[in-house]
Amino acid sequence: MPRDARCYDVLIASPSDVQVERKIIAECIEDWNAQHSRTTGVIIQPRRWEFDAMPETGDRPQAFINRQIVDMSDMLLGVFWTRLGSPSGVASSGTVEEIDRLVAAGKLAALYFSTMPLPYDHDPAQLAALQEYKKQIQPTALYFDFSTHEHFRRLVSLHLGQRMHDLAGTPSDPPPTSKIARAVLSIRRGTQQRSGDVRTMQVIVELQNLSQSRIREYSCDVSMPKAALTFASAHYVGEIASKDPSRRMMRFTEEGWKGEPIFAGDTRQIVSLELGIEQLKMTGTYLHGDYEGTLADKISADAVIDGEVFHAEMPLSEIFGDLPISD
């Protein structure tokens, strides 16, 4: 049955290296429409230049995109990973130009930056340009980092609902099948390093506040195989007794930050560890150990915030899976 509806255009803006994230944004919009459009009479329309732009000649390509799509959009969701994008003739990239135009028009531009491991073929110059842009906008923007695609999906679902409530007066509750947590606890790989003859991997445990209020108190326990610690005999800050002699345990609380809260949208690095397994294959030395068993193990983290429990884990096979191991 035909009915009237209000339509809001959401521009998906990004360089070319975040195709998965662009699809996730579109899927979050579809989810919102399925949940709210029939009862509210509001529809969100995703706008992407590759689907919505028309061929034209006689001007800059970005100028055509601006007239056809950008200037007609009601809000923008922008996402970056390793690239800033190509210069547009007006701004450092087409994506940056789109962001600037919506901000100048008084419209919302919500930005997200991926902290996932860099691909081996990334462009260092593009990464440097992106980092410089991120530094430039810090005084005038509140942006969010994400460490996994699922983390990104939760952020977009949460923020899209909130912004549509502000924009159109619609409910901001997420679909009942998509529970939005107050925080995200995550484990990610950092940079490859070296400890003597052993190649190691930096592993980072992070806690991000997804709520609109501060996290004032938290506790996070991190557990890892003792054999994977390159300095297995060292005492680590925050270390506590482990019931399993093959594992090491560390506990971190807000007291380690002198009681400083985790503010809304902020990410706190709980700990950064240097893990390695090559030493376990050094036969005839005191470092020799169960290489296969350790590789099959994992690092895990458990946090408690206001009685809510958060868990994250990463198999060592994922940490060292693409790191060639020497005999």
Q: How much is the CA Rg of the chain, to the nearest whole Å?
A: 23
Average pLDDT over the chain, rounded to an integer? 85
Rounded Cα gap, residues 289 and 32, in angstroms? 52
- Tell how far CA 58 is from the center of its chain: 39
Whether residue 124 is predicted with pLDDT greater than 60 in this model: the reply is yes
Check: CB of residue 281 under 8 Å from CB of residue 327: yes
Which comes out higher in pLDDT, residue 43 or 280?
43
Please give the average per-residue pLDDT across 17-29, as a whole number.
93
**pLDDT tens profile 127-173:** 999 999 999 999 999 999 998 888 898 899 888 888 887 776 655 54
Which residue spans within 33-114 are E strands per DSSP? 42-47, 75-80, 108-114
**pLDDT tens profile 315-324:** 888 888 765 5
Please give the average per-residue pLDDT across 271-280, as a whole number.
81
Rounded Cα gap, residues 281 and 292, in angstroms? 10
What is the structure's pLDDT at 178? 37
pLDDT band at 326 (very low <50, low <70, confident <90, very high): very low
In the chain, the domains with their CATH numbers are 6-168 (3.40.50.10140), 183-319 (2.60.40.10)
What is the structure's pLDDT at 253? 87
Q: Angle at the Cα of 31 (from 28 to 37), degrees rounded to 5? A: 125
